[in-house]
Amino acid sequence: MPARALPFLATGVILLIAGCSGGEDGVAAPASSSTAPPPTSAAPPSTPATPATPATAPQTTTTPAKSAAGAVERYETYLHAVGKEDVATACEIAAPAAKKAEDEGFGPCEQTLPITFRMFSAAQRKALQSATVDRGSVTERTAKTEIPAKAVRAGAKFTDHDLGDAVLELRNGAWYVTD
């Protein structure tokens, strides 16, 4: 295998591993809070209901979680998880990409991600635990955010071949690494 292909393979493995958490389209299903019905009161209200105040118009601004800032925060969480060798968190965030990799013949995320961890030096893994992303280098599209490898700021040197560029997509209200 050519040496140039190794970084792309490593990135694919990382993404594949992250996608093994299951769920529709590789996205984990949200946990339900409780199946019990809410308690009801048998006592009638003591005062008549007053008219509600007029509802305010829905906000048209994007909430931080649904903006590029939310994608950057989610990617930083992913980088920190990789640095800490936290398979569960990294696989959950990169579930769609990991699913793609698994469909292409790589194993489940939980099995392949530890291999990817070993591709980083101990110093690089430690640096990833506190890595940040330069938001000025991020490209935001409608429901996609592209984060180039050069945007990652860490205490160790990383090249495009070490990390690769990342694409995050907003799915069901959360950002996931998809490419």
Query: In this predicted model, what pLDDT tens digit does every residue of 2-55 receive, in sequence order?
Result: 333 333 334 444 443 333 333 444 444 333 333 444 444 444 444 444 444 334
Q: Spell out the SS3 assignment of 95-160.
A: HHHHHHHHHCCCCCHHHHHHHHHCCCCHHHHHHHCCCEECHHHCEECCCEEEECHHHEECCCCCCH
If one counts every other C-beta atom within 10 angstroms of the C-beta of residue 176, the result is 28
Is residue 58 very low, low, confident or very high in pLDDT (cuts 50, 70, 90)? Answer: very low
CB 95 within 8 A of CB 23: yes
Is residue 63 very low, low, confident or very high in pLDDT (cuts 50, 70, 90)? Answer: low
Please give the pLDDT value at position 141. 84
Judging by DSSP bridges, how do beta strands 166-171 and 174-177 pair with one another?
A: antiparallel
Please give the pLDDT value at position 93. 97
Is residue 128 very low, low, confident or very high in pLDDT (cuts 50, 70, 90)? Answer: very high
Please give the pLDDT value at position 152. 95
pLDDT tens, residue by residue, 73-105: 999 999 999 999 999 999 999 999 999 999 999
Please give the pLDDT value at position 161. 85
What is the pTM (predicted TM-score) of this model? 0.65
- Tokens standing for 165? 């560029």
Is residue 142 very low, low, confident or very high in pLDDT (cuts 50, 70, 90)? Answer: confident
Beta bridge partners of 145: 140, 168
Buried b / exposed e along 138-149 (16+ C-beta atoms within 10 A)? bebeeebbbbbb
In percent, the amount of the chain with pLDDT more than 70 equals 64
Q: Flag whether pLDDT at 151 surpasses 80.
A: yes
- Those residues whose C-beta lies under 8 Å from the C-beta of residue 9, and which sit 6 or more positions away, are 1
Alpha-carbon separation of residue 72 from 38, 151, 159, 161 (angstroms): 37, 10, 19, 20
- Tokens standing for 123? 């110093």
Residue 120 to residue 128: CA distance in whole angstroms: 10
